[in-house]
Chain A
């Protein structure tokens, strides 16, 4: 074909129509704004992120400072959440632990989702034997309760925060793989994928450029919900002494410290426990809201 190579200099800057991807985002955001619990969850998460970012610079006490004369003091104006058995300020420790908690939740989900999405999309796209092998592997992982699996992995790898992230990530892989496989199965049947094959696109190009952008919404919902689960699992592992090692101000570990003083100083366990509950609840509320908002069947 003799393509005329005349230069087209017509950069007419007409109003760019909205990208459907962003258009959908607008609809999702609008639906989300009307969902009260999702908004509360969202703002709570924002609040925790803010605390994690600037909190450590404005806490009244350093998290590791032990003032033994002040040990096991009940909440007061001086120590809002009281002090623990080493005389450390619990309020400061919780603030310092916020970032840690969020990072563990975020990175374990990021890791788990990346691997899970890859497995799921490959299983769904290629089908057949590859699908069977991957999904049976996922079934095996899924057969163990998440925390038990994580526990086993951490026991093998040794107790540390990084290993907790890896363990929690591995236990969340099958959930993502399943969801992504299902979505991939429905998208790959669409005619525009056939059209891309007929155009000579490679499998990798079809998978990452044409299928992946169309299956992001279930991934986002699952990731949000999974952050809550991941935080809970990580705290659980630390509670059992397999995660963060003392004196790291990790909430699960703090909870564990407090259980020895439940009768005479319940605040030592109460406040870290409440913090865990609040974060987990916030992510769950936002996740539920996102699921409804992404569902085209729910009305605006």
Chain B
């Protein structure tokens, strides 16, 4: 559909993205220097706790940050072109057409006063100028594509007549209507129950393979990442702390935060003695960020170096990235430190 002659390897490249929210006398850096790339046709998972800047990152890509928020720096290269240089009119042509998004709450993401068909038709009317009848036919095809039974009937139904899983399928149909090259899914399965979650993830993976698009999957669920993603970016307090392919991440997580996240998942092959391991403390508020490494106050290995200085994102020979002093030459703590060691079990 789009015949951009320029060649690009990565569908999306984010470099040093900074998005801040401005209050009267304070700049709150919600996203502070985030960088990652999504190769063509791959799925990148972005994981992190609430407040780590995942959703703001995704809204920044579509340039949908609302006042008092603002993208203050960085680059968002989509198909090689910086989205931050586009005009609002150009962005509107990209939204829903080349990059589209699905939201967390399928219950509230559909307009209650329109039929499912009318809402999917919006994409076709906005981007392809189809008339009502054509748009409806295409909508039925889309419903079929996302596995909704008897689509000819469903197309005339209202959101309140559908279950949560069905609605999320409709959202996916809306998002994929114009055959986007990149799909941003902001916690698409969080509001669904587990069996439906698996169905929706399978559907997304299946469609991704058939349509060859890239997906940015935002989640706080490492299980979802393990099941679906090719690459993972772990975010903490507005920064990427680890970026690697999914296999490596699960085999040997490097950042103490990632390790902590993994440890806090209950294993299902054996019982654990005592309590499940937790990461003590909570994500620092963006208004009062620690001076050094942002994870230092919660990190069991933190030294003075960590508390005073912010580590850079280091890229190793395999292209994996890590933001931690332990893996740098300047590390001044225990040189034999093992981040995987059983540190402590606290409640």
Confirm or deny: B94 has a beta carbon within 8 angstroms of a beta carbon on chain A. Answer: yes
- How far does the alpha carbon of A136 sit from the alpha carbon of B150 in the complex, in Å? 53
Interface centre among B93, B97, B156 (most CB of A within 10 A): B156
Are A195 and B127 closer than 8 Å at their CB atoms?
Answer: no
Instruction: Choose among B122, B123, B127, B158 the residue that contacts A17 (Cβ–Cβ < 8 A).
Output: B158
Residues of A with C-beta under 8 A to B157 = 17
The smallest C-beta distance from A19 to any residue of chain B, in angstroms, reads 7
A10-38 contacts to B, CB under 8 A, are: 10, 12, 14, 16-17, 19-21
Which B-chain residue is minimally distant from A198 (CB atoms)?
A: B101
Give every chain A residue within 8 A of B179 (Cβ-Cβ): 1
State the Cβ distance, B78 to closest chain A Cβ, in Å.
14
| CA gap between A4 and B179 in the complex, in Å | 13
Chain A residues closer than 8 Å to B100, beta-carbon distance:
198-199
Q: Pick out which of these stretches binds chain B: A79-87, A101-109, A200-208, A291-299.
A: A200-208
**The stretch of B41-49, B105-113, B242-250, B283-291 that contacts the partner chain:** B105-113
Residues of chain A contacted by B91 (CB below 8 angstroms): 200
* Contact between A213 and B113, CB atoms less than 8 A apart: yes
Interface pick from A176-184, A186-194, A220-228: A186-194
Candidates A4, A7, A10, A200; contact of B92 at CB < 8 Å: A200
* Interface pair B137/A8, CB less than 8 Å apart: yes
Q: A8-B140, A12-B152 in contact; A20/B67 too (CB < 8 A)?
A: no
Q: Which of B137-165 contact A (CB under 8 A)?
A: 137-138, 140-141, 152-153, 156-158, 160-161
Which residue of chain B has its CB nearest to the CB of A1?
B179
For residue A266, CB closer than 8 A to chain B, the reply is: no
Residue pair A191, B109 in contact (C-beta under 8 Å): yes
Q: Check A210 for interface membership: any CB of B closer than 8 A.
A: yes
Selected contact of A195 from candidates B109, B113, B141, B160, CB within 8 Å: B109
- Does any Cβ of A come within 8 Å of B174's Cβ? yes
A202 to B93, CA, bound (A): 10
Q: Is the interface of A mostly helix, strand, loop or mixed?
A: loop
**Closest residue of B by beta carbon distance from A210:** B111
Bound Cα distance A19, B111 (Å): 12
Q: Which residues of A contact B171 (CB under 8 A)?
A: 195
B112 with A196: CB separation less than 8 A: no
Q: Is A214 an interface residue (CB 8 A)?
A: yes
Q: Chain A, interface size: which category?
A: 20 to 34
Q: How far is the CA of A202 from the CA of B89 in the complex (A)?
A: 9
Contact between B64 and A197, CB atoms less than 8 A apart: yes
A residues within 8 A CB of B93? 200
Rounded to whole angstroms, the CA-CA distance of A210 and B114 in the bound complex is 9
Q: Are B122 and A1 in contact (CB under 8 A)?
A: no
Assess the B122–A201 pair: CB atoms within 8 A: yes
Interface presence of A60 (CB below 8 A): no
Given A1-B211, A196-B122, A200-B93, are A12 and B153 also a contact pair (CB < 8 Å)?
A: yes
CB of B276 within 8 Å of the partner chain: no
Contact of B153 with A3 in the complex, beta carbons under 8 Å: no
Question: Are A1 and B176 in contact, with the CB atoms below 8 A?
Answer: yes
Residue of B nearest to A211 (CB): B111
- In the bound complex, do residue B110 and residue A192 qualify as a contact, i.e. CB atoms below 8 Å apart? yes
Q: Tell me how far the C-beta of A5 lies from the nearest C-beta in chain B, rounded to whole angstroms.
A: 9
Contact between B160 and A20 (Cβ–Cβ < 8 Å)? yes
A159 to B64, CA, bound (A): 51
Answer yes or no: B103 CB below 8 A from chain A CBs. Answer: yes
Query: Is A158 part of the contact surface with B, judged by Cβ < 8 Å?
Result: no
Shortest C-beta distance, A88 to chain B (Å), equals 52
The chain A residue sitting closest to B64, CB to CB, is: A197
- Whether A128 pairs with B109 at a CB distance below 8 angstroms is no
Minimum C-beta distance from A25 to chain B (A): 12
Closest CB in chain A relative to B198 CB, distance in Å: 24
Q: In whole angstroms, how far apart are the Cα atoms of A7 and B67 in the complex?
A: 46
CB atoms of A214 and B92 under 8 A apart: no
Q: What residues of chain A have their CB less than 8 Å away from a CB belonging to chain B?
A: 1, 3-4, 7-8, 10, 12, 14, 16-17, 19-21, 127-128, 190-192, 194-202, 205, 210, 213-214
Q: List 17 A-B contacts (CB under 8 A).
A: A1-B179, A17-B156, A17-B158, A19-B158, A191-B105, A191-B109, A192-B109, A195-B171, A197-B64, A199-B96, A199-B174, A200-B94, A200-B96, A200-B97, A200-B123, A200-B126, A214-B113
Known contacts A192-B108, A199-B100; 5 additional CB pairs below 8 A are A17-B161, A195-B101, A195-B103, A196-B111, A201-B96
Residue numbers of B with Cβ under 8 A of A are: 62, 64, 67, 91-97, 100-101, 103, 105, 108-113, 122-123, 126-127, 137-138, 140-141, 152-153, 156-158, 160-161, 171, 174-176, 179, 211
Q: Which 9 A-B pairs have the closest CB atoms?
A: A199-B96, A200-B95, A200-B96, A1-B179, A198-B101, A191-B108, A192-B111, A10-B152, A191-B109
